Chain A
């Protein structure tokens, strides 16, 4: 009995035999112990629980999203560097085939679902309520629950590489390879359950922000007076609501296949592997726009701010995003032009895909013409936005090349494709996230990130990005396919691969400089005492940095686009006097239920992964109990008194 238990622990439960994994085990243990020791030493447990873990404040949730996303970016980046090391030269033995397959799977899944998504959610949590003059999101409790579901989903996915083994079917997990018969073990279960838990959170966030933006805008802010970032989040929320259920269903069906022996995606008993491809990409393609449209919004804000001009062609910018979001739902098949569709079907999806280039092109020109006749200021945030334009255009035009189905037969699954989607996803979301981070950092924390270090990081990262991915276009046309763990010499691929590896490490260096910049600036960064360090144009810059709990002491009335820029030019004293007539503010209470309920979700999920139903059942009961407890909580808000508002505003220098 004991022997078989120990055998199970050493051979199935813990991943053993690889020195790199032991290193990871040790660093996870050390980091956990380190965190516990530091928090205990500083006597911060209570503070951590009361101020952060149970917080329903959108600004704190946003910050937690961003911290988690930065950590996951580190993990996904290490995965990338391991792959690039293995591929630097032909016939390398740094990683085995099995290990490499796990690494590219976790790299893809983490970067999309646990880096890009939480970064976007982080930025929208921080900026959207402030931009529309709201005191929080529509459903603050649900917002906290979204975050903790994402967090525990990410943790569940993450522990797979030390406990039980990582999934190895690729982030797209095509059936039938991802099914039980060819892919036994718990790895793929981690993917299905971890991503599912995070996905529920994402869907809830989509609903939350749709309602927030539709119902909680400051008086006078009509839809067409909203800041462009808020517009992008409104549209993104709609995409999330329509796209995520398809993925939820797909993950659930494959879980049922694997855990309960159904055959939705295997040919036995009439299932269809291609159904998975359809469901996956019906979510997967809109997902690209879910991470892309918000950064279009970020770039719109940043380019307008640092050109000191209103955005050029505002209405067209909005309508082109609407067009992208709609067309984005009818292009999913271009991910498998090569799965035996008739010429008519491929023609339809070629056309729908290429057409997306039209609204996207319009947006590029509008950004260029926003800068035209402007006064361009090269801040770090602006550099990221500027670099986006040419780099993303390269990704965009190669996307049009891929959209032409007959040519795609030659690019499909080659490094040309790998280069394309990294061009789009790094020059888009990654540049946009860094851009938004530098732009909104003072609003989040009340101090600035150092500009000189920021610019250095930008140049290192941006140039390395091109060194890493440009050769991939060529090596793809030379016949190298994605997901190869090694390649033979003499194919003409070696020099390109070696250059790519150099670029990848350069990007790693760029990331480390950003991390250093954050630490340095936290200790020595310049304080933002004005609340408006960039001469901003939208409402978030009208309040102190960091924003007080209630955001706006009095809710502003909006009369025009770029509301704050307009207010600054008018600057009438009467308005200021009126502002001092405060009223008590009604705010939601913190709650421990989101984190506890998500923890139960984690427990139930871990049980499902291992098919331990003795663990699933208590986890599920815990979730239900949390829901019941919450439904009977009537005391869920508090009132901030006028005295306290006055005290806070005076401390921020807003009251004389």
Chain B
């Protein structure tokens, strides 16, 4: 009896820990926004279906072992080598299960392509129905750029709760993935292709995120916080940054890009125009190179063709 109770406890313990984990904000099982909730529903649905499959297999497995695994078990029949009807049954059962899983999965795929439904009107400073934020991963820190508000933050991002946020994902050097488990699944940040990820928070709160793709020595430190704020708080955060924080200079930006971990967060009220193009390392080097060339050109041919400075950035 005591042994059974111990076993019961042993089963319950991880469950209790799991439930404890549900309350923390890094858990997939504790969705805090419409995107994560869609995914959570699919996870639960597939978990139920798969538990059924596992249960069927285990029941037959145990039955067969108990029935035919004893020394003197009866019913040995070596001529039992196939059964068309049965084989069709267990061909059809997985087919049905696959259909039951794939239909909602594909539907969800297309839902996630679009903006989630806003639950409040967007804050004034957002200028529209949704907020767009450019995310750039670099070894080993996260840059967040607000093209509408001309704000740049490092290792944290502030969003209004209830308003859809379109994250455009870029990588400066190595690939990473942008993952905020409580708000939704991850997407890669890549050097050659901007990626898009819609997320939205239900309520104000702090939702930790991290990179899910190994990118070298400081990978573990590639974490950031998503701070969801109410509309008024968001507006006052924007105006506070604009009033109190310094602007990001190109020099400072280049210093920050160097492969190193940045502990803590940074906030800037403006950023240089070139970096709005989300240059990756090769483009940035190309730009520097072109600038150098232009400088030389300017020295030799003073006053000519100042425009080429601008074009240099497009070289890939």
CA distance A160 to B93 in the complex (A): 49
Chain A contacts for B57, CB-based, 8 A: 364, 368, 389-390, 393
Is residue A375 contacting chain B, with contact meaning CB distance below 8 A? Answer: yes
Q: Of A25-33, A263-271, A549-557, which binds chain B?
A: A263-271
A187-232 interface (Cβ within 8 A of B): none
In the bound complex, do residue A376 and residue B69 qualify as a contact, i.e. CB atoms below 8 Å apart?
yes
Is residue B266 contacting chain A, with contact meaning CB distance below 8 A? Answer: no
Q: Of B26-34, B149-157, B158-166, B224-232, which binds chain A?
A: B26-34
In the bound complex, do residue A398 and residue B50 qualify as a contact, i.e. CB atoms below 8 Å apart?
yes
Are A309 and B78 CB-contacts (below 8 A) given A270-B316, A413-B186?
Answer: yes
Is residue A365 contacting chain B, with contact meaning CB distance below 8 A? Answer: yes
In the bound complex, do residue A400 and residue B101 qualify as a contact, i.e. CB atoms below 8 Å apart?
yes
Name 17 extra pairs, CB < 8 A, besides A97-B220, A177-B214, A390-B61.
A98-B217, A101-B219, A307-B68, A310-B78, A338-B177, A338-B187, A343-B113, A358-B94, A365-B60, A368-B64, A374-B76, A400-B50, A407-B42, A411-B185, A413-B213, A474-B18, A481-B212
Chain B contacts for A372, CB-based, 8 A: 64, 67-68, 80
Ranked 7 nearest A-B pairs via Cβ:
A409-B185, A479-B26, A397-B50, A404-B105, A413-B212, A483-B214, A406-B108
Interface size class, chain B: 35 or more
Chain A contacts for B218, CB-based, 8 A: 97
In the bound complex, do residue B212 and residue A273 qualify as a contact, i.e. CB atoms below 8 Å apart?
no
Is residue B81 contacting chain A, with contact meaning CB distance below 8 A? Answer: yes
Is residue A478 contacting chain B, with contact meaning CB distance below 8 A? Answer: yes
CA distance A376 to B211 in the complex (A): 49
A378-402 interface (Cβ within 8 A of B): 378, 386, 389-390, 393-394, 397-398, 400-401
Interface 0/1 of B193-232, CB less than 8 Å to A: 1011000000000001011111111111000000000000
Chain B contacts for A393, CB-based, 8 A: 53-54, 57-58
In the bound complex, do residue A355 and residue B98 qualify as a contact, i.e. CB atoms below 8 Å apart?
yes
In the bound complex, do residue B220 and residue A486 qualify as a contact, i.e. CB atoms below 8 Å apart?
yes
Interface 0/1 of A335-355, CB less than 8 Å to B: 010111011001100110011
In the bound complex, do residue B216 and residue A182 qualify as a contact, i.e. CB atoms below 8 Å apart?
yes
In the bound complex, do residue A492 and residue B42 qualify as a contact, i.e. CB atoms below 8 Å apart?
no
Is residue B313 contacting chain A, with contact meaning CB distance below 8 A? Answer: no
Chain B contacts for A52, CB-based, 8 A: none
Are A405 and B105 CB-contacts (below 8 A) given A336-B188, A373-B75, A479-B26?
Answer: yes
Chain A contacts for B304, CB-based, 8 A: none
Contact for B102 among A170, A354, A412, A479, CB less than 8 A: A354
In the bound complex, do residue B192 and residue A316 qualify as a contact, i.e. CB atoms below 8 Å apart?
no
CA distance A483 to B108 in the complex (A): 29
In the bound complex, do residue A478 and residue B27 qualify as a contact, i.e. CB atoms below 8 Å apart?
yes
In the bound complex, do residue A397 and residue B187 qualify as a contact, i.e. CB atoms below 8 Å apart?
no
In the bound complex, do residue A346 and residue B109 qualify as a contact, i.e. CB atoms below 8 Å apart?
yes
In the bound complex, do residue B175 and residue A177 qualify as a contact, i.e. CB atoms below 8 Å apart?
yes
CA distance A68 to B240 in the complex (A): 65
Contact for A314 among B64, B82, B94, CB less than 8 A: B82
In the bound complex, do residue A404 and residue B185 qualify as a contact, i.e. CB atoms below 8 Å apart?
no
Are A406 and B42 CB-contacts (below 8 A) given A97-B217, A373-B77, A390-B61?
Answer: yes
In the bound complex, do residue A479 and residue B210 qualify as a contact, i.e. CB atoms below 8 Å apart?
yes
| 11 residue pairs from A and B, CB less than 8 Å apart | A174-B213, A176-B173, A181-B281, A313-B81, A338-B185, A400-B50, A404-B46, A410-B186, A411-B28, A474-B17, A479-B210
Are A273 and B175 CB-contacts (below 8 A) given A101-B216, A413-B213, A479-B210?
Answer: yes
Chain A contacts for B98, CB-based, 8 A: 354-355, 357-358, 400
Is residue B235 contacting chain A, with contact meaning CB distance below 8 A? Answer: no
Are A405 and B109 CB-contacts (below 8 A) given A97-B220, A176-B174?
Answer: yes
B67 to chain A, nearest CB (A): 8
Is residue A333 contacting chain B, with contact meaning CB distance below 8 A? Answer: no
CA distance A374 to B63 in the complex (A): 12
Is residue A618 contacting chain B, with contact meaning CB distance below 8 A? Answer: no
In the bound complex, do residue A378 and residue B217 qualify as a contact, i.e. CB atoms below 8 Å apart?
no
Is residue B9 contacting chain A, with contact meaning CB distance below 8 A? Answer: no
CA distance A323 to B83 in the complex (A): 20
Is residue A312 contacting chain B, with contact meaning CB distance below 8 A? Answer: yes
CA distance A361 to B49 in the complex (A): 14
Chain A contacts for B24, CB-based, 8 A: 478, 491-492
In the bound complex, do residue B27 and residue A362 qualify as a contact, i.e. CB atoms below 8 Å apart?
no
A411 to chain B, nearest CB (A): 8
Is residue A453 contacting chain B, with contact meaning CB distance below 8 A? Answer: no
In the bound complex, do residue B210 and residue A347 qualify as a contact, i.e. CB atoms below 8 Å apart?
no
CA distance A390 to B65 in the complex (A): 12
Chain B contacts for A389, CB-based, 8 A: 57, 61
Is residue A482 contacting chain B, with contact meaning CB distance below 8 A? Answer: yes
Contact for B95 among A170, A174, A273, A358, CB less than 8 A: A358
In the bound complex, do residue B190 and residue A339 qualify as a contact, i.e. CB atoms below 8 Å apart?
yes
Are A474 and B21 CB-contacts (below 8 A) given A170-B214, A267-B192?
Answer: yes
In the bound complex, do residue A376 and residue B65 qualify as a contact, i.e. CB atoms below 8 Å apart?
yes
In the bound complex, do residue A496 and residue B17 qualify as a contact, i.e. CB atoms below 8 Å apart?
yes
In the bound complex, do residue B101 and residue A404 qualify as a contact, i.e. CB atoms below 8 Å apart?
yes
A266-303 interface (Cβ within 8 A of B): 266-268, 270, 272-274
Contact for A410 among B28, B58, B95, CB less than 8 A: B28
B169 to chain A, nearest CB (A): 8
In the bound complex, do residue B185 and residue A408 qualify as a contact, i.e. CB atoms below 8 Å apart?
yes
Is residue B280 contacting chain A, with contact meaning CB distance below 8 A? Answer: yes
CA distance A43 to B84 in the complex (A): 62
A534 to chain B, nearest CB (A): 16
Most buried by B among A170, A174, A373: A373
Is residue B179 contacting chain A, with contact meaning CB distance below 8 A? Answer: yes
Most buried by B among A361, A407, A474, A495: A407
B128 to chain A, nearest CB (A): 23
B312 to chain A, nearest CB (A): 15
Chain B contacts for A358, CB-based, 8 A: 91, 94-95, 98
CA distance A266 to B286 in the complex (A): 14
Chain B contacts for A98, CB-based, 8 A: 217
In the bound complex, do residue A404 and residue B42 qualify as a contact, i.e. CB atoms below 8 Å apart?
yes
Is residue B306 contacting chain A, with contact meaning CB distance below 8 A? Answer: no
Is residue A60 contacting chain B, with contact meaning CB distance below 8 A? Answer: no
Interface 0/1 of A625-649, CB less than 8 Å to B: 0000000000000000000000000
CA distance A491 to B23 in the complex (A): 11
Is residue B116 contacting chain A, with contact meaning CB distance below 8 A? Answer: no
Is residue A414 contacting chain B, with contact meaning CB distance below 8 A? Answer: yes
Is residue B43 contacting chain A, with contact meaning CB distance below 8 A? Answer: yes
CA distance A486 to B219 in the complex (A): 10
Is residue A504 contacting chain B, with contact meaning CB distance below 8 A? Answer: no
In the bound complex, do residue A350 and residue B39 qualify as a contact, i.e. CB atoms below 8 Å apart?
no
Is residue A582 contacting chain B, with contact meaning CB distance below 8 A? Answer: no
CA distance A496 to B27 in the complex (A): 14
Closest B residue to A372 by beta carbon equals: B64
In the bound complex, do residue A406 and residue B112 qualify as a contact, i.e. CB atoms below 8 Å apart?
yes
CA distance A98 to B217 in the complex (A): 6
Is residue A484 contacting chain B, with contact meaning CB distance below 8 A? Answer: yes
Closest A residue to B196 by beta carbon equals: A340
Contact for B109 among A169, A336, A343, CB less than 8 A: A343
Interface 0/1 of A302-323, CB less than 8 Å to B: 0000011111111110000000
